[in-house]
Structure 1
Amino acid sequence: MSSIAGTKSGLTWAVQISVVLLVALWLFPTVGLFVSSFRTADQISSSGWWASMLPSERNETLRTANPDTQVQEDGLWVIRGNLFEADRQAEISAWGITSQDIAAYTPGETADMGEDGRLTVEANGDYRLVNETEFSGRRGGRVFVTASSPPEFTLDNYREMLFDPSNREGMTKAFFNTLTVVIPATIIPIVIAAFAAYALAWMRFPGRALLIAAVVALLVVPLQLALIPLLKLHLAVGIGKGYLGVWLAHTGFGLPLAIYLLRNYMVGLPRDIIENAKVDGATDFQIFVKIIIPLSFPALASFAIFQFLWTWNDLLVAMVFLIDATGETTVMTKQIVELLGTRGGNWEILATAAFVSIAVPLAVFFALQRYLVRGLLAGSVK
């Protein structure tokens, strides 16, 4: 039956299901990070992000107002107010006056606390504390409640991380520092590799085959192997503590892959177009600029995605070649590592910082992903 036209084989179904599962596994943490970045610390600690659209119920310890707010009514001393903050909406399902029995009363019931008076709590948090004698002390009494809060989202996390000038751990400066590193580190190797790939694909000169073999060999050289020698060279020439050093490092590490991808793509372009251009008197530079570059845009975009994502998410190269004790050149990956050390318990801040760091790579990937497969498959089929 699998050979009948219009039916799908078991292998086809298996492939499609596998793709769906891989997409779901990739989206699951990304969506979770996005949702968590709009939640408060209490919400994150009390429920998972998948429950963010549902009312959340948790036990809380609240306090009544201070005794200095009491008033006298009909011979009784009264303290009234609302247990929740002014901008919060919640509904109490049970409450108590001791930690041993936090659900002793339902909303509307009155608890007799002896010499401390009688307390009545409503479902919306309104309370009335009454006593025949004047209340004393500096703090209000504790009330244990089980409250259900509606779904709530906030932009305060983004305001604190991006726009709060008093926040020394903000991501705004690190964001622009990362752009300062990434944009030149993506453009420079593309420009150099495009010229080199054209020469290796269409120009005849002695040693071309050896150069192609050397490019392929450099693809397997570990990044860590070259860090220390390259750093010593940068320090010797005076570029080891700034952006220039990290630009050149990323360029050097990205060139082998760039040349390999672009050369494979260019060598598969129709030879007749180039030969006709040479017959018409076009120079190699004119052919390269007016013919090769426009036709090679899928390969250029494919490498741009790889290089941008790699340099944006890089931590090792930035820590080695951006030596700065003042934090003026701190990139986002390093900033997040510092946040883990200083604010490891603030999950809402960490989630916001992490999503800010992946938002730009996601936008770049989705903008150029249609060229990714075309560029990667360049030269594989004749």
Structure 2
Amino acid sequence: MSETTTPKAKSALDEADAVAGPSETRKLSRKEQRSVDAKTRLASPWASGFALVLAILWSVPTFGLFVSSFRPERAIKTEGWWTFFSNPEVSLENYDAVLNGNTDFAGAFLNTVVITIPAVVIPITLALLAAYAFAWMDFKGRNFLFVAVFALQVVPIQIALIPLLTQYVNFGIDSSLWVLWLSHSIFALPLAIFLLHNFMMDIPRSLIEAARVDGAGHVKIFFQVLLPLLVPAIASFSIFQFLWVWNDLLIALTFAGPDLAPLTLKIGDLAGSRGSEWQLLSAGAFIAMVVPLAVFLGLQRFFVRGLLAGGVKG
């Protein structure tokens, strides 16, 4: 045992050794030691203080955006948002202009929802099937194909936009929802397959072999054995993909037609052609960030579990 092991870690290791059998003692001891040491480091006052300071600094711009969204146009254009506390002026004119004006913000919000949900479901569905094949099915060239998929992550999105747009025009599907769904799915698949594959490899092989002994095939193993265990990983990637698609501007600017403009394009148009109405940006931006914020907070526990999965693997 390492000399730097804390008394708390030693106690946990002693209990683990007492429970584990002779053949499992060393493996379980390593897992318990890593788990306890990680919890001890993360629970230190310095780590907690640093996390608190980082959270405050990260939240200040959001709070400033929230305050500015309720300030009148004159105050926004002439004073900083922090002057609100010395001269509090509250107005709903910005929200009224965004929601009820001629900006068609409600239509852009609906377009964003229609674009985002399939662009999250499609790559996750395909990535789950591909990750299962790479993890638990033996076929020729499996390792080569997995490396090739992993290498696709280094391809910049920018260099693929023009070739993709050319193909979409040739297929006759340009300026349609399929263009946006396919583009987001193509760029998300390499990372999704890589993350889900690594998560699947952390599942004990004995569990899969036991299911095979009971007569389960690949379909039953995937849906009844693996899928319930993959909820944290699916939720983690869903959050990443949802935030990326919801806040995307480049793909929307390249492929979306005027009738399919999402919130990101509309927010850019709120300032006007001459930048004379940029007081509306704070209200529009805050409306656009409410849904991603709610999704992140609602799935936060799955997000943390997915990120930490396999971190203490023995």
Deviations 1:124-175 (A, max 9, x none): xxxxxxxxxxxxxxxxxxxxxxxxxxx342333222212x2xx222311111
The residue aligned with 1:30 is: 62
CA separation of 1:5/1:263 partners in 2, compared to 1, >3 Å: closer, same or farther?
A: closer
The residue aligned with 2:11 is: none
> Pick from 25, 46, 50: which aligns with 2:82?
50
Query: Is residue 295 of structure 1 aligned with residue 229 of structure 2?
Result: yes
CA separation of 1:381/1:227 partners in 2, compared to 1, >3 Å: closer, same or farther?
A: farther
* One-letter amino acid of the structure 2 residue matched with residue 186 of structure 1: V
Matches within 5 A, 1:299-318: 299-318=233-252
Cα shift at 1:297: 0.5
TM-score when normalising by structure 2 = 0.81
What is the distance in 2 between the residues matched to 1:25 and 1:258?
30
RMSD: 2.4
SS at match of 2:259: coil
Query: Is residue 356 of structure 1 aligned with residue 290 of structure 2?
Result: no
* One-letter amino acid of the structure 2 residue matched with residue 159 of structure 1: D
Higher fraction of strand: 1
Deviations 1:71-128 (A, max 9, x none): xxxxxxxxxxxxxxxxxxxxxxxxxxxxxxxxxxxxxxxxxxxxxxxxxxxxxxxxxx
Deviations 1:52-83 (A, max 9, x none): 344x2xxxxxxxxxxxxxxxxxxxxxxxxxxx
Cα shift at 1:16: 3.4
> Pick from 20, 41, 60: which aligns with 2:73?
41
Deviations 1:286-339 (A, max 9, x none): 1111121111000001100111111111111111111x2xx3111111112222
Matches within 5 A, 1:170-209: 170-209=104-143
* One-letter amino acid of the structure 1 residue matched with residue 184 of structure 2: H
* One-letter amino acid of the structure 1 residue matched with residue 98 of structure 2: M
Does the CA contact (< 8 Å) of 1:157 and 1:352 recur in 2?
A: yes
CA separation of 1:154/1:343 partners in 2, compared to 1, >3 Å: closer, same or farther?
A: farther
Does the CA contact (< 8 Å) of 1:200 and 1:263 recur in 2?
A: yes
* One-letter amino acid of the structure 1 residue matched with residue 111 of structure 2: N
**Runs (5+) with no aligned partner, structure 1:** 57-150
> Pick from 7, 11, 18: which aligns with 2:50?
18
What is the distance in 1 between the residues matched to 2:90 and 2:203?
52
What is the distance in 1 between the residues matched to 2:253 and 2:174?
11
The residue aligned with 2:259 is: 328
The residue aligned with 1:130 is: none
What is the distance in 2 between the residues matched to 1:343 and 1:39?
21
CA separation of 1:229/1:347 partners in 2, compared to 1, >3 Å: closer, same or farther?
A: closer
What is the distance in 1 between the residues matched to 2:209 and 2:52?
46
Cα shift at 1:185: 0.4
Query: Is residue 370 of structure 1 aligned with residue 287 of structure 2?
Result: no
Does the CA contact (< 8 Å) of 1:261 and 1:375 recur in 2?
A: no
What is the distance in 1 between the residues matched to 2:53 and 2:120?
32
> Pick from 231, 238, 246: which aligns with 2:180?
246
The residue aligned with 1:158 is: 95
The residue aligned with 1:216 is: 150
Cα shift at 1:379: 4.0
> Pick from 237, 243, 246: which aligns with 2:171?
237
Deviations 1:181-207 (A, max 9, x none): 111101100111011111111111111
Cα shift at 1:13: 4.8
* One-letter amino acid of the structure 1 residue matched with residue 236 of structure 2: S
What is the distance in 2 between the residues matched to 1:329 and 1:343?
24
Higher fraction of helix: 2
What is the distance in 2 between the residues matched to 1:350 and 1:333?
11
CA separation of 1:345/1:287 partners in 2, compared to 1, >3 Å: closer, same or farther?
A: same
Deviations 1:235-275 (A, max 9, x none): 11111211101100100000001001111101111222222
The residue aligned with 2:214 is: 280
Cα shift at 1:47: 3.9
Cα shift at 1:4: 9.9
Which 4+ stretches in 1 moved above 4 angstroms? 3-6, 11-14
Does the CA contact (< 8 Å) of 2:108 and 2:263 recur in 1?
A: yes
Which structure would you say has the larger RCO, counting Cα contacts within 8 Å and 6 or more residues apart? 2
Does the CA contact (< 8 Å) of 1:309 and 1:361 recur in 2?
A: yes
Larger Rg: 1
* One-letter amino acid of the structure 2 residue matched with residue 34 of structure 1: F
**Runs (5+) with no aligned partner, structure 2:** 9-39
Using the aligned pairs only, state the percent identity. Answer: 48
What is the distance in 1 between the residues matched to 2:6 and 2:207?
43
SS at match of 2:145: helix
